[in-house]
């Protein structure tokens, strides 16, 4: 029979009373100045999309400082290291592990000044919350485990991973769960630390599809070549038609045109124009349906302009959907931890690194790193770490109980 809520509560109460766990709790409380220094230092290292290597190397040095096993950067660019368990692996079986991760990348392009500054307790700077807060929490857990001398029942795989944001399309997680990764058969549970909050948890994965739509033509002079098919006008008409597509409210499904670019000058007929489309839904089937409807609408809208205009559609993002079952031991452990810490669990749907393992039916969630913050994905991003040790205690108890299951 599955454990009852009372049994989960007893396990967490016993775990929280352990002396080694108390030493870890004390480390969180006493070492906030160290956490702040780490956060300020890592924020000065830019990690734009597809260029996270400098920040990954910085994390690799920290993992080595902690004395973790097998610190390395994998083929995707993820910085990885293992905190070994107290148990012995079976001779022929791969040793299981629990993945605890935080993404390295930010949304800010190359050239953005990411240097943070302080205003009292508040840290200001691009990526201060997303995901400077999560990355700092990852280091805090690693340091506290080592300091307290805790030996979890299952090995913990620490990952500072690449490619969570935008067109990164979860490439760090895709690699970890691919046949190219030695961990594909080992990861039993995955916990991603992302953004601020003491009560936040994302246990439902919002699926998305992203398309880059490009229309090309001969181009020309606005006066001399007037009458030549104009890609901007043709694509604009197609986008207006796409905006009229009927989308369901249950399951909730959305469609957005986020970018449009092209042309050379105001007095030129463009030779090319592109638009970026983002489709989201809680249902993979609905994503399939709306993507097909978009493609059919584009083809229909551009048909009168062929062969003078050409259409090219590239899928640049595909985030799978999924959900953690309410009866999952991971979810029940989290609720028991929150009861013990007097936290009112705030569960949400979102698009995070947890999407990938959830789509593979691996128990997973994304959890807040504590503190408060705002203006995320802008250069005015800020983070206040006040009280973040509550979230760190929450994550530690969750990890240690899951390791024992």
The residue assigned the tokens 């300091």 is 147
Structure confidence at residue 86 (pLDDT)? 73
Q: What are the residue ranges spanned by the domains of the chain?
A: 5-206+321-403, 208-319
- Do the beta carbons of residue 169 and residue 319 sit within 8 Å? yes
Structure confidence at residue 88 (pLDDT)? 57
Q: pLDDT (tens digit, 0 to 9) for every residue of the chain, 405 residues total?
A: 568 899 999 999 999 999 999 999 999 999 999 999 999 999 999 999 999 999 999 999 999 999 999 999 999 999 999 999 876 554 445 689 999 999 999 999 999 999 999 999 999 999 999 999 999 999 999 999 999 999 999 999 999 999 999 889 999 999 999 999 999 999 999 999 998 999 999 999 999 999 999 999 999 999 999 999 999 999 999 999 999 999 999 999 999 999 999 999 999 999 999 999 999 998 889 999 999 999 999 999 999 999 999 999 999 999 999 999 989 999 999 999 999 999 999 999 999 999 999 999 999 999 999 999 999 999 999 999 999 999 999 999 999 999 998
Structure confidence at residue 220 (pLDDT)? 97
Residue 37 CA to residue 208 CA, distance in Å, equals: 36
| φ, ψ (nearest 5 deg) of residue 59 | -65, -40
CB atoms near residue 135 (< 10 Å): 28
Residue 320 CA to residue 215 CA, distance in Å, equals: 28
Same fold? 5-206+321-403, 208-319: no
Residue 5 CA to residue 3 CA, distance in Å, equals: 7
- Assigned CATH topology for domain 208-319: Alpha-Beta Plaits (3.30.70)
Bridge partner residues of 383 (DSSP): 123, 373
Structure confidence at residue 166 (pLDDT)? 87
Alpha helices (H) in 245-283, listed in sequence order: none
Alpha helices (H) in 224-264, listed in sequence order: 231-243
How many CA atoms lie less than 13 Å away from 380 in the CB half-sphere?
2
Q: Compute, in degrees rounded to 10, the torsion defined by CA atoms 173, 179, 180, 181.
A: 60
**Spatial CB neighbours of 337, under 8 Å, sequence gap ≥ 6:** 12, 343, 394, 397, 398, 401
Length of the chain: 405
Helical (H) or strand (E) element with 287: helix 284-302
Structure confidence at residue 226 (pLDDT)? 96
Q: How far is CA 251 from the centre of its chain?
A: 22
Selection from 280, 260, 285 nearest residue 270 by Cα: 260
Structure confidence at residue 90 (pLDDT)? 44
Residue 361 CA to residue 189 CA, distance in Å, equals: 10
CATH class of 5-206+321-403: alpha beta
The bridge status of strand 187-193 relative to strand 346-350 is unpaired
- Do the beta carbons of residue 290 and residue 247 sit within 8 Å? yes
Structure confidence at residue 91 (pLDDT)? 43
């Amino acid at each position: 029979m599955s454990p009852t809520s009372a049994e989960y509560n007893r396990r967490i109460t016993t775990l929280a009373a352990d002396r080694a766990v108390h030493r870890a709790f004390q480390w969180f409380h006493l070492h906030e100045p160290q956490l702040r220094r780490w956060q300020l230092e890592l924020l000065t290292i830019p990690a734009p999309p597809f260029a996270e290597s400098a920040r990954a190397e910085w994390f690799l040095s920290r993992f080595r400082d902690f004395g973790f096993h097998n610190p390395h950067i994998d083929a995707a660019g993820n910085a990885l290291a293992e905190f070994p368990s107290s148990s012995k692996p079976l001779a022929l079986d791969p040793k299981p592990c629990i993945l605890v991760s935080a993404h390295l990348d930010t949304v800010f392009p190359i050239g953005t000044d990411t240097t943070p500054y302080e205003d009292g307790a508040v840290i200001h700077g691009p990526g201060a919350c997303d995901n400077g807060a999560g990355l700092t929490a990852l280091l805090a857990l690693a340091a506290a485990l080592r300091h307290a001398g805790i030996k979890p029942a299952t090995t913990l795989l620490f990952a500072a991973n690449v490619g969570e944001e935008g067109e990164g399309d979860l490439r760090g997680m895709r690699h970890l769960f691919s046949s190219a990764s030695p961990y594909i058969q080992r990861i039993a549970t995955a916990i991603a630390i992302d953004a601020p909050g003491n009560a936040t948890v994302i246990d439902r994965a919002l699926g998305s599809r992203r398309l880059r739509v490009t229309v090309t033509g001969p181009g020309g002079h606005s006066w001399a070549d007037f009458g030549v098919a104009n890609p901007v006008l043709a694509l604009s008409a197609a986008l207006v038609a796409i905006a009229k597509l009927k989308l369901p409210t249950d399951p909730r499904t959305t469609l957005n045109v986020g970018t449009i670019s092209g042309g050379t000058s105001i007095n030129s007929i463009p030779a090319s124009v592109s638009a970026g489309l983002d489709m989201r839904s809680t249902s993979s089937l609905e994503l399939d349906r709306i993507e097909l409807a978009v493609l059919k609408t584009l083809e229909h809208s551009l048909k009168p302009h062929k062969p003078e205009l050409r259409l090219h559609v590239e899928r640049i993002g595909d985030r799978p959907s999924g959900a953690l079952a309410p009866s999952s031991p991971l979810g029940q452990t989290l609720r028991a931890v929150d009861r013990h810490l007097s936290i009112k669990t705030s569960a949400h749907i979102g698009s995070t690194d947890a999407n990938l393992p959830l789509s593979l039916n691996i128990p997973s969630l994304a959890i807040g790193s504590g503190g408060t913050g705002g203006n995320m994905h802008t250069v005015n991003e800020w983070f206040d770490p006040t009280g973040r040790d509550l979230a760190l205690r929450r994550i530690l108890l969750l990890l240690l109980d899951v390791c024992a299951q």
